[in-house]
């Protein structure tokens, strides 16, 4: 276990006096892995430096947005230029139109988008739109999928078939989640039973196509195929939460990955965040023009936001999307990610440590267990204590992984072959130590 670095420890103690738990988002507190959080002072390219001046190879990437690495020159220039023109106007700008057009250009399922400021806001609004468009109340989500902290989505699965959710956060009354059903990820039989019982009342099904809040768990192709069929059969909308996977796993996002296996596949509604903001607070939801016409000011579904389409955030996101759309970008990014994952797998195999790994585009995950989990229960059955030891052993060697078993990792175009090699060597040492 890492020893506390005095400056980080001092800052954490100070933070706890003025900020609940000392952090503004819970996973940053290192509660899952133990020890003291590193307070980051700056970042550049594939690296971060903490308050002690120690350098780390960064595989968090601000939890996904930094697909180009930190401080990419084209993005930085665009942000600085936009900031000089003004931070916020509360009025339309040309750039938010350009960003919407750029998203639509790369995602065939989308004809219109609404820009917002966070993934939580986008997911919450997408569900409201689905309910307004269908006139139905019930929704399905899956255990282990995180769609932000809106009340109706803070629900965990029960043990029974198609169990109605119970709040997993204080402050969420049971009646708020009474229309939320929680099912097991990748369980076709349970999915079919839920539709058989509640299909006529379902407004939507929301899913992370690659669940990045269970570390990295893919929805199987047969599961997605059956989900699409059941939504079509019963008139429910299929909502892909691509806050994490959007423009991270492919230029067309995760839905394009499934479309390669299922020709013609499209979700009905899509939710984006992270990469489309390039590190700034920005997210979006979108679908067909017909469904989007239900939104105010055109329709009865209300949604608004003072900072939606913020001019600095849109500049950051637009510059990011234009860079990642350049030829060869995803081929190179995917090759780097595969090199990392294969290296980690080889290091674990050499050490005789049960280890399973997977990746897509610039997103990856690994588990200390003999096979890749298919749902939340299987994730929970992997070796958490070994992960915690490995995390600290890697941190001690200058590699910053997500401080929790349940979070995916991210590679950027700024990671070099030397960075990957250094990470794999650190893993060899860490696996012996852990």
- Residues serving a catalytic function are 146, 241, 274
Q: Residues 110, 104: contact at Cβ < 8 Å?
A: yes
Q: Spell out the alpha helix ranges (H) of 208-288.
A: 221-234, 253-261
CA dist., res. 411 & res. 429, Å (int):
21
Q: What is the DSSP string of 150-214?
A: -GGG-EE--SSTTPBPEESSTT--GGGGTTEEEE-TT-HHHHHHHHHHHGGGEEEEEE-SEETTS
What is the 8-class DSSP label of residue 410?
Answer: E
**CA 79 – CA 130 distance, rounded (Å):** 34
**What would the two tokens of residue 430 be?**
């860490």
Contact 362, 333 (CB under 8 A): yes
d(CA 317, CA 333): 18
Question: Edge-to-edge strand order for the sheet containing 269-272?
Answer: 112-116, 283-287, 269-272, 237-242, 202-207, 138-142, 180-183
CA torsion angle for 358, 362, 363, 364 (degrees, to 10)? 40
From the number of C-beta atoms within 10 Å of its C-beta (0-12, 13-18, 19+), residue 289 rates as: exposed
Burial class (CB in 10 A: 0-12, 13-18, 19+), 176: middle
CB 420 within 8 A of CB 75: no
Determine how many CB atoms are found less than 10 A away from the CB of residue 187.
17
Tokens standing for residue 225: 């195929």
Cβ–Cβ < 8 Å for 319, 277: no
The answer to whether 234 touches 185, Cβ cutoff 8 Å, is no
d(CA 290, CA 79): 34
Cα separation of 400 and 306, whole Å? 35
For tokens 């899509």, the residue is 270
Rounded to whole angstroms, how far apart are CA atoms 83 and 371?
48
């Amino acid at each position: 276990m890492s020893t506390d670095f005095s400056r980080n420890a001092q800052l954490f103690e100070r933070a706890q006096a003025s900020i609940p738990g000392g952090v503004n988002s819970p996973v940053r507190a290192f509660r899952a892995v133990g020890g003291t959080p590193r307070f980051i002072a700056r970042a550049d390219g594939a690296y971060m430096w903490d308050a002690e001046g120690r350098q780390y190879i960064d595989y968090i990437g601000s939890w996904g947005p930094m697909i180009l690495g930190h401080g990419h020159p084209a993005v930085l220039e665009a942000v600085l230029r936009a900031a000089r023109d003004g931070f916020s106007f509360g009025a339309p700008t040309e750039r938010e139109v350009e960003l919407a057009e750029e998203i639509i250009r790369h995602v065939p399922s989308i004809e219109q988008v609404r820009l917002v400021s966070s993934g939580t806001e986008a997911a919450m609004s997408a569900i409201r739109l689905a309910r307004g468009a269908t006139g139905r109340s019930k929704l399905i989500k899956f255990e282990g999928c995180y769609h932000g902290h809106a009340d109706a989505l803070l629900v965990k699965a029960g043990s029974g078939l198609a169990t109605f959710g119970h709040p997993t956060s204080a402050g969420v009354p049971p009646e708020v989640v009474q229309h939320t059903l929680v099912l097991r990820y990748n369980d076709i039989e349970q999915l079919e039973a839920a539709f058989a019982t509640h299909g006529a009342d379902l407004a939507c099904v929301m899913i992370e196509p690659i669940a990045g809040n269970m570390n990295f768990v893919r929805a199987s192709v047969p599961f997605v195929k059956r989900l699409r069929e059941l939504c079509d059969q019963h008139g429910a909308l299929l909502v892909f939460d691509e806050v994490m996977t959007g423009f991270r796993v492919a230029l067309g996002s995760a839905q394009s990955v499934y479309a390669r296996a299922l020709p013609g596949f499209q979700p009905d509604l899509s939710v984006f965040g992270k990469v489309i903001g390039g590190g700034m607070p920005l997210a979006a939801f979108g679908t067909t023009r017909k469904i989007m016409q239900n939104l105010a000011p055109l329709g009865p579904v209300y949604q608004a936001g003072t900072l939606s389409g913020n001019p600095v955030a849109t500049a950051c996101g637009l510059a990011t999307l234009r860079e990642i759309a350049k030829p060869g970008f995803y081929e190179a990014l995917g090759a780097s990610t595969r090199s990392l994952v294969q290296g980690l797998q080889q290091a674990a195999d050499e050490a005789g440590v049960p280890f399973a790994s997977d990746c897509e585009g610039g997103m990856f995950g690994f588990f200390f267990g003999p096979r890749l989990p298919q749902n939340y229960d299987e994730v929970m059955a992997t070796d958490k204590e070994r992960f915690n030891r490995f995390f600290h052993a890697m941190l001690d060697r200058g590699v910053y992984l997500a401080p929790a078993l349940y979070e995916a990792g991210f590679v950027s175009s700024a990671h070099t072959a030397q960075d990957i090699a250094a990470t794999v060597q650190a893993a060899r040492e860490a696996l012996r130590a852990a």
